[in-house]
């Protein structure tokens, strides 16, 4: 078939090639001369880089590089490698006409003439930003999962250690308390016992931090007026902190109450203030403030709802990026050996998250640090109720009781028995839930059961359920350091937090047997 001259089918091979290149929009395909100036341009290059052909042809391809790479001579190095080896390939950031960056996969091939001289370069660029973002998102998700699994494992270990340590402290504190009551008033002995008791109490405070970190502390959740709580701490803080430190507060009069444990929140704020003090050895200002916050969509650990964003800000040394990354990691401290446990911020984070909130930190080296505690607001129907003292306090039960004490730890059981007997009660000991049930089924006359929760084979809460079935009128007290009881257990059981003193034991016995 003959085609007339000028017929559309009579396109030259060069025009066919350009038409083919212009039909490719996912790749920037263009030519460079021997010095790196753009000599051709396709529609894909215009779409990816933003330049029209008349804007870019004749300009040097280094225009697509970042300022940092141009300063290092990367464009010249790329051409030198392509000229020497025939090909250059790399992934890196490139710059569009509008100044935005994209992650590019770049290939530069050298073009030779018949004599073997390099006369130019063929350059292909693909925008891989979406793939890189997907890879980064996957890597971040994997890292977050790894961190969550690691923190869960540390939490489980810490909680277990704290539980066992609580049992040891029970034996130490109980024995010291009984010893102090029975040792004669010897001025050379009593200070030693008192010192040992204070050391054990510090150990108990440490276990509370460990349990707070592992989200297993016992919380007494109430609506809390944050400004009132902070103002109530000011006098104590002023007397405890250096004269070079100033504490300022900034609260609106209409702030809603939050749901948390007021005593634990006080402890958490005290931890943050002490950290701020240590960050300002030469003095400074600590500012405590709060603002309402509305969360409309799922935001990290925060569910949609109303929150109060409480902040503690200092103008101290601040933290560098690496320190900030590890700030809430358990046992991480910058205070030096013997000056910090590394559990302060972990404890605060544990309390806030156990309360349904979230902790976040903003800090820069030399510019100070701000800790944000986001806590859920109490419902509108839950007003703050100030406890009212009754006009006539109920009489404390002082009659001798027969009490079944259950604990799988012999040291703890011995001390519980000693404290109860010292109060005038008769005690039957059981080293397991099975032993306790044998006593219950024998028909033994009992007034009360005090049982440990964490026991093998059958927990204390499971034992309490079985006792409720066999002898519904028999009261049961659960002794535990854990906040969470298993699903289906009786959450209303009276609890005695470990380690407990004889006074606390006396109080709960009197309360449940009135």
Q: What CATH number does the domain located at 402-512 have?
A: 3.40.50.2300
pLDDT in tens, 27-53: 888 999 999 999 999 888 899 999 999
Q: How far apart are CA 341 and CA 416, in angstroms?
A: 30
* CA nearest neighbour of 200 among 479, 503, 412, 500: 500
Beta pairing partners, 260: 222
pLDDT in tens, 72-89: 999 999 999 999 999 999
Residue ranges of the chain assigned to CATH 3.40.50.2300: 402-512
Mean pLDDT of 122-151: 78
The token pair at 403 is: 């009490």
Q: What CATH topology corresponds to 222-376?
A: Heat Shock Protein 90 (3.30.565)
Q: What CATH topology corresponds to 142-213?
A: Helix Hairpins (1.10.287)
pLDDT band at 261 (very low <50, low <70, confident <90, very high): confident
pTM of the model as a whole: 0.43
Specify the pairing of strand 402-406 against strand 358-364: unpaired
**Which of 138-147, 188-197, 386-395 is least confident?**
386-395
Q: Is 195 exposed, middle or buried (0-12, 13-18, 19+ CB in 10 A)?
A: exposed
Percent of the chain whose predicted confidence (pLDDT) is above 70: 76
Q: How confident is the model at residue 108, as a pLDDT?
A: 94
Q: How far from 186 is each of 177, 178, 461, CA to CA, in Å? A: 15, 15, 44
* Structural contact between residues 463 and 451, judged by C-beta atoms closer than 8 angstroms: yes
pLDDT in tens, 126-139: 998 888 888 887 87
Q: How confident is the model at residue 188, as a pLDDT?
A: 74
Q: How confident is the model at residue 328, as a pLDDT?
A: 66
Q: How far apart are CA 215 and CA 353, in angstroms?
A: 8
Residue ranges of the chain assigned to CATH 3.30.565.10: 222-376
pLDDT band at 3 (very low <50, low <70, confident <90, very high): very low
Residue ranges of E strands in 254-377? 258-260, 284-295, 305-314, 358-364, 368-376
Mean pLDDT of 292-309: 81
* CA nearest neighbour of 33 among 84, 105, 89, 108: 108
Q: How far apart are CA 432 and CA 415, in angstroms?
A: 16
pLDDT in tens, 154-175: 556 555 666 677 777 777 887 8
pLDDT in tens, 363-389: 888 888 999 999 999 874 443 433 333
Q: Is 34 exposed, middle or buried (0-12, 13-18, 19+ CB in 10 A)?
A: middle
More confident site: 145 or 282: 282
pLDDT band at 61 (very low <50, low <70, confident <90, very high): very high
Beta pairing partners, 293: 307
Q: How confident is the model at residue 340, as a pLDDT?
A: 47
CATH class of this structure's domain 8-127:
alpha beta
More confident site: 488 or 58: 58
Q: How far apart are CA 199 and CA 194, in angstroms?
A: 9
Which backbone phi and psi does 191 adopt, to 5 degrees? -60, -35
The token pair at 168 is: 């040891």
Q: How confident is the model at residue 221, as a pLDDT?
A: 78
Q: How confident is the model at residue 16, as a pLDDT?
A: 61
**Which of 122-126, 136-140, 388-392, 480-484 is least confident?**
388-392
Which backbone phi and psi does 426 adopt, to 5 degrees? -95, 140
What sections of 101-189 are H helices per DSSP? 129-182
Residue keyed to tokens 């704020």: 269
Q: How far apart are CA 225 and CA 259, in angstroms?
A: 9
Which of the residue ranges 9-13, 124-128, 178-182, 329-333 has the most confident prediction, judged by mean pLDDT?
A: 124-128
Across the chain, mean pLDDT equals 79
Question: Degrees (nearest 5) of the Cα angle 465, 470, 474?
Answer: 75
Mean pLDDT of 283-288: 88
């Amino acid at each position: 078939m003959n085609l007339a001259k000028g017929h559309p089918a009579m396109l030259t091979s060069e025009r066919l090639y350009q038409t083919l290149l212009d039909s490719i929009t996912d790749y920037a395909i263009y030519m460079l001369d021997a010095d790196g100036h753009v000599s051709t341009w396709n529609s894909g290059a215009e779409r990816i880089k933003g330049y029209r052909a008349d804007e870019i042809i004749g300009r040097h391809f280094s225009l697509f590089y970042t300022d940092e790479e141009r300063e290092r001579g990367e464009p010249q190095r790329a051409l030198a490698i392509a000229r020497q080896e025939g090909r250059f390939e790399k992934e890196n950031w490139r710059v569009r006409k509008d100044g935005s960056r994209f992650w590019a996969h770049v290939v530069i091939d050298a073009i030779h003439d018949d004599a073997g001289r390099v006369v130019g370069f063929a350059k292909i660029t693909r925008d891989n930003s979406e793939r890189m973002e997907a890879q980064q998102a996957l890597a971040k998700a994997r890292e977050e999962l790894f961190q969550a699994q690691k923190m869960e494992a540390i939490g489980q270990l810490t909680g277990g250690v704290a539980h066992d340590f609580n049992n040891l402290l029970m034996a130490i504190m109980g024995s010291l308390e009984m010893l102090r009551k029975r040792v004669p008033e010897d001025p050379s002995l009593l200070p030693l016992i008192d010192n040992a008791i204070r050391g054990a109490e510090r150990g108990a405070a440490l276990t509370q931090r460990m349990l707070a970190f592992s989200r297993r502390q016992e919380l007494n959740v109430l609506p809390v007026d944050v400004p009132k709580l902070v103002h109530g701490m000011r006098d104590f803080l002023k007397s405890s902190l250096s004269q070079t430190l100033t504490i300022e507060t900034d609260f609106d009069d209409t702030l809603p109450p939050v749901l948390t444990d007021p005593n634990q929140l006080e402890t958490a704020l005290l931890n943050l203030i002490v950290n701020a003090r240590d960050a300002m050895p030469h003095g400074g200002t600590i500012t405590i403030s709060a603002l309402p916050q509305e969360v409309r969509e799922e935001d990290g650990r925060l569910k949609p709802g109303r929150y109060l964003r409480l902040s503690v800000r200092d103008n101290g040394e601040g933290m560098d990026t690496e320190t900030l990354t590890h700030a809430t990691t358990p046992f991480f401290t910058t205070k030096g050996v013997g000056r910090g446990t590394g559990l302060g911020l972990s404890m605060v984070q544990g309390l806030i998250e156990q309360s349904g909130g979230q902790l976040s930190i903003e800090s820069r080296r030399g510019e100070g640090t701000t800790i944000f505690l986001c806590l859920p607001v109490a419902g509108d129907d839950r007003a703050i109720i100030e406890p009212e003292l009754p006009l006539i306090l109920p009489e404390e039960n002082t009659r001798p009781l027969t009490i079944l004490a259950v604990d799988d730890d012999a040291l703890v059981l011995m001390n519980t028995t000693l404290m109860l007997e010292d109060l005038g009660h008769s005690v039957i000991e059981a080293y397991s839930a099975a032993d306790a049930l044998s006593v219950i089924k024998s028909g033994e006359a009992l007034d009360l059961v005090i049982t440990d929760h964490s026991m093998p084979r059958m927990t204390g809460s499971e034992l309490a359920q079985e006792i409720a079935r066999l002898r519904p009128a028999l009261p049961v007290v659960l002794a535990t350091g854990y906040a969470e009881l298993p699903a289906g257990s009786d959450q209303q059981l009276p609890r005695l937090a470990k380690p407990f003193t004889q006074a606390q034991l006396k109080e709960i016995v009197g309360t449940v047997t009135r």
